[in-house]
Structure 1
Amino acid sequence: MTVTVPGVEAPIVAGTPLLGSMSDLLNDPLAAYLRARREQGDVVRFRAGPPGLRSDIYAVFSAEGAQQVLATQAAGFRKDNVFYEEVRQSVGNGLLTSQDGAYLRQRRLVQPLFTSRRVNGYARQVTDEAAALADAWSAAEGRSVDLVGEMHRFALRVVGRILFGEDMESALTVIERTLPPLQEYSLKRGFSPVRTPRSWPTPANRRAARLQEELFALCDGIVERRRGDEAAEDLVTLLVRAENAEDGSLDAAELREQVLIFLLAGHDTTATALAFALHLLARHPEQQRRVREEVDDVLGGTDGRAPTAADMEALPYLTMVLKEAMRLYPSAPVIGRRAVADTEIDGVRVPAGADLLVSPWVTHRHPDYWPDPDRFDPERFTPEAEASRPRYAWFPFGGGPRACIGQHLSLLESVLGLAVLIQAYEFEAADQDEVPLGAGITLLAKGPARCRISRRPASRSPRNLP
């Protein structure tokens, strides 16, 4: 017996006769998603690829639809699409890509490493690296810096220090050389209508295999050195020790895969939030002034102390600025799934086996939830304003049972890192051009976000006076 799912058919974004929507999705997917919502509604169907190889991708743009896919109907949607498979083959089957029993086992073993108490213990690593960056910027005072590059390196150093401890310096050189091209390789394969087997000796496959071998060897070596080290407290050591009666412990391959996923997801996402928070403050002097006054009041001015995890609740306006930056520039602009069975999302039929995506990039700009959505306005994140919106109008960390396990660490790193830099410097936009963007596994800045930095003069806050 055939079961008919209620709802209407999704409108088709047809594109061109030759490639359908493929050119738009490859060249400027963020604009394509926004245009599709504006012209055709909250659930649409992109038809992409040449004749005979064409496939449909359902895109869901409403907060209600995102909540269905990620939370209330999460069991009906899996990470089985081609993009997740390419990531699996490049960096392994860690928390980002694993499913079913493997995912639940990994989550149970790893979750104790991300409690608030444990994460707050990493605050010193964050502030030390932020202070080192502030000192390094002294050589560039009065000139412009590229926030995209600077925050990428800062976030990578922080996650490297948290993961690897003393192995940070040698490890980061390998990571910077191998991980970005492996991500690009996976993305290109994910978008290709025809994918040659990775075992074929094409130049791209051979280069990717060499990069993967080097990255795997690095992680395997670090993990091996952590075995039996009772003194170390970095995250890799804690992963090695992770064990419970039900799940046992992580084997060597699983340890490597978790480390690689933490590297992949742990630095790009935070770097994006930091870069664009500073970019927006540099272009909005009044909001920057308010943040600076709040930071000075809490920390004691430029001669004051470094922030701690306990200070986060005392920095509400800075947190509002960060959330608004994450609304406008979500680190994961698109989240993919595959439908298990025929279903209905936001009143639209979605067939079994359909590839589907939800898009924080579009939902965060949806005029039903965000008046004048392109305007930078941290006041959108007062407690009252947040309570008035649907839960999934803002979801930069995903949601439901697969919400990002590291979201508290990302917020800690972002708030404390911003506090240190704003305590030390004033920021002024070097140009008014928008930063060109693309969508890969994470949001991609295709150009610099330049701003001029000026060291703030030393001052004595009343809080520091005897």
Structure 2
Amino acid sequence: MSVGTNSGADTGKAVPGLAGVPLLGSLFDLKSDSLGTYLRAQHQHGDLVRITAGPPGMRAELYCVFSPAGAQQVLASDAARFRKDNHFYQEVRESFGNGLLTSQDEDYLRQRRLVQPLFTRRRVDGYAEVIAAETASVLTAWGEAPGGIVDVSDEMTHLALRAVARILFGTDVEATADVVTGCFPVITEYVLRRGYSPANIPRDWPTPGNRRAAAALDELYGVCDRIIAERRRAGAEAGARAEAGAGGDTGAGAGAPGEDLLTLLAGARSSDDGEFDAAELRDQVLIFLLAGHETTATSLCFALHLLARHPEEQSRAREEISRVLGDRTPGAADLDRLPYLTQVLKEAMRLYPAAPVIGRKAVADTRIGEHTVPAGADVILAPWVTHRHPDYWPDPDRFDPERFTPEAEAGRPRYAWFPFGGGPRACIGQHFSMLESVMALAMILRAYEFEAVDTEIPVRAGITLQTNGPARCRIRRLDG
């Protein structure tokens, strides 16, 4: 396989290493606070740091790349040299399938070609009505919040899951949302435990942990398979009626606006790439459920909580919303009409990126800056750290939406901020996430005023960024 021209023949300076304890290195630091450990590594040693973890014979060596230029190399300019072959991605793949997040090579290219037409801006903008309806439902429920207090982490997870499930499954949203709510935490904790362990027992051994995860996977797979089978059967029957000239209204075609995404996925095909079979459809659905709700929920949660702690910025965002929208429901066209609210969201995504850590495996020696990352190395990119890099973000822990004016953005390297990844594997759902987040924030801030109850929210790196405690806010209805 060709991997470009960066041979890495000049090995450069030795990569500095983070000090750990004898025998185990930084194993316990990474287990207890991986995000803090990566920050400390950058502060102490710079933009490429080697971290060792684990006992001899099972030791992992992580080459951590913290600079925007290094991130651009790994994700974009030298992307062919860095693959999703590491242990963690394998665990995600075994639980959530070989969808767009985890697939590689021709599998990935084929999937991307089949799925890309379903994520054009025009297509995604057609989901605005669903986003608005699900947000309105949450706002109505908040009228009965005990003591006028809501946990914005739980509430935004509920909102984002309902929205993506309705877009994926249409009228089958109730069953799927309930199953995902019950099963995803079990599965993700299982993946994390195995993904960060240097050695694992086989998944088919009947241990309590394996059995719990298997039961959750069976339930999740079962509901997806049932709905997929129903969609494919309905599509076949509609096609048969059309061929027989039965006449009448057979429903909108696969490309009709407003049709659920699963039906569109089932109908995605080309002469070169064929179509998805039932197992491939389930893999795509599972990845969309995972990436499509947890990431957006994280961005919404922290945007609201940061505004709850910064009343001046909250008031400014609300003034813009009132001026632009008045009393009407926002639509897709309003995304570009709410620049300050978008800046708030981007700053929340800087401080709390939904994907705080991104892993790759180097397949060739590659020079990054003054150092060489060797072939076979586990490579870590950490938006959590790069988004706080003092060379690009003065006073990096301060919440300041003004960092994202057009002029400020133009003055920074492209990969100083990369919450959606980048390069050929950039998140296909970026526009959907921004649309949902800006629309939901606009509706929420117009209806309620927020004051933080929990002033700090502990977090940890999971498959996505996870809160380690409540994110409660006191809310006050503004429109009567």
Question: So what's the TM-score if we normalise by structure 2?
Answer: 0.93
231 and 347 in structure 1: CA distance in 2 versus 1, 3 angstrom threshold: farther
CA RMSD in angstroms comes to: 1.3
Correspondent of 2:384 among 339, 361, 364: 361
1:151–1:275 Cα contact (<8 Å) kept: yes
Query: Are 2:456 and 1:451 aligned?
Result: no
Partner of 2:452: 429
Query: Are 2:298 and 1:272 aligned?
Result: yes
Deviation at 1:4, TM superposition (A): 3.0
SS in 2 for 1:353: coil
Correspondent of 2:251 among 212, 221, 231: 231
- Structure 2 residue identity aligned to 1:104: L
Partner of 1:463: none
Deviation at 1:63, TM superposition (A): 0.4
Deviation at 1:18, TM superposition (A): 3.5
Query: Are 2:417 and 1:394 aligned?
Result: yes
Q: Which moved more, 1:2-11 or 1:261-270?
A: 2-11
Query: Are 2:327 and 1:322 aligned?
Result: no
Partner of 1:251: 277
Deviation at 1:431, TM superposition (A): 3.6
- Structure 2 residue identity aligned to 1:114: F
Question: Aligned partners of 1:231, 1:153: CA distance in 2, in Å?
Answer: 30
2:54–2:60 Cα contact (<8 Å) kept: yes
Deviation at 1:141, TM superposition (A): 7.4
Deviation at 1:153, TM superposition (A): 0.6
Where does the alignment leave 5 or more consecutive residues of structure 2 unmatched?
1-6, 236-249, 253-258
SS in 1 for 2:144: helix
Correspondent of 2:312 among 268, 272, 286: 286
- Structure 2 residue identity aligned to 1:364: H
Partner of 2:240: none
- Structure 2 residue identity aligned to 1:436: P
Deviation at 1:94, TM superposition (A): 0.3
Deviation at 1:150, TM superposition (A): 0.6
2:96–2:287 Cα contact (<8 Å) kept: yes
2:8–2:367 Cα contact (<8 Å) kept: no
Deviation at 1:5, TM superposition (A): 3.4
Number of equivalent positions = 453
Where does the alignment leave 5 or more consecutive residues of structure 1 unmatched?
459-466
Question: Aligned partners of 1:438, 1:191: CA distance in 2, in Å?
Answer: 13
Deviations, residues 297-339 of structure 1 (Å, cap 9, x unaligned):
1111xxx110000111110000000000000000000000000
Partner of 1:9: 14
2:12–2:370 Cα contact (<8 Å) kept: yes
Deviations, residues 243-269 of structure 1 (Å, cap 9, x unaligned):
011100001110000000000111000
420 and 141 in structure 1: CA distance in 2 versus 1, 3 angstrom threshold: farther
Question: Aligned partners of 1:231, 1:321: CA distance in 2, in Å?
Answer: 41
Correspondent of 2:132 among 127, 148, 153: 127
Q: Which moved more, 1:434-443 or 1:139-148?
A: 139-148
Partner of 2:256: none
Question: So what's the TM-score if we normalise by structure 1?
Answer: 0.95
Query: Are 2:72 and 1:77 aligned?
Result: no
Q: Which moved more, 1:224-233 or 1:65-74?
A: 224-233
Deviation at 1:3, TM superposition (A): 7.3
Deviations, residues 342-391 of structure 1 (Å, cap 9, x unaligned):
11122211111100010100000000000000000000000000000000
Q: Which moved more, 1:230-239 or 1:170-179?
A: 230-239
Question: Aligned partners of 1:278, 1:58: CA distance in 2, in Å?
Answer: 34
Question: Aligned partners of 1:353, 1:231: CA distance in 2, in Å?
Answer: 52
7 and 125 in structure 1: CA distance in 2 versus 1, 3 angstrom threshold: same
1:320–1:379 Cα contact (<8 Å) kept: yes
Percent identical pairs in the alignment equals 64
Question: Aligned partners of 1:160, 1:145: CA distance in 2, in Å?
Answer: 22
Deviation at 1:171, TM superposition (A): 1.1
Question: Aligned partners of 1:397, 1:351: CA distance in 2, in Å?
Answer: 26
Question: Aligned partners of 1:400, 1:70: CA distance in 2, in Å?
Answer: 5
Q: Which moved more, 1:203-212 or 1:29-38?
A: 203-212
1:42–1:62 Cα contact (<8 Å) kept: yes
Question: Aligned partners of 2:18, 2:429: CA distance in 1, in Å?
Answer: 35
Deviation at 1:198, TM superposition (A): 1.1
Query: Are 2:411 and 1:385 aligned?
Result: no
- Structure 2 residue identity aligned to 1:131: A
Question: Aligned partners of 2:141, 2:408: CA distance in 1, in Å?
Answer: 39
Question: Aligned partners of 1:273, 1:37: CA distance in 2, in Å?
Answer: 25
Question: Aligned partners of 1:135, 1:311: CA distance in 2, in Å?
Answer: 22
Question: Aligned partners of 2:19, 2:395: CA distance in 1, in Å?
Answer: 29
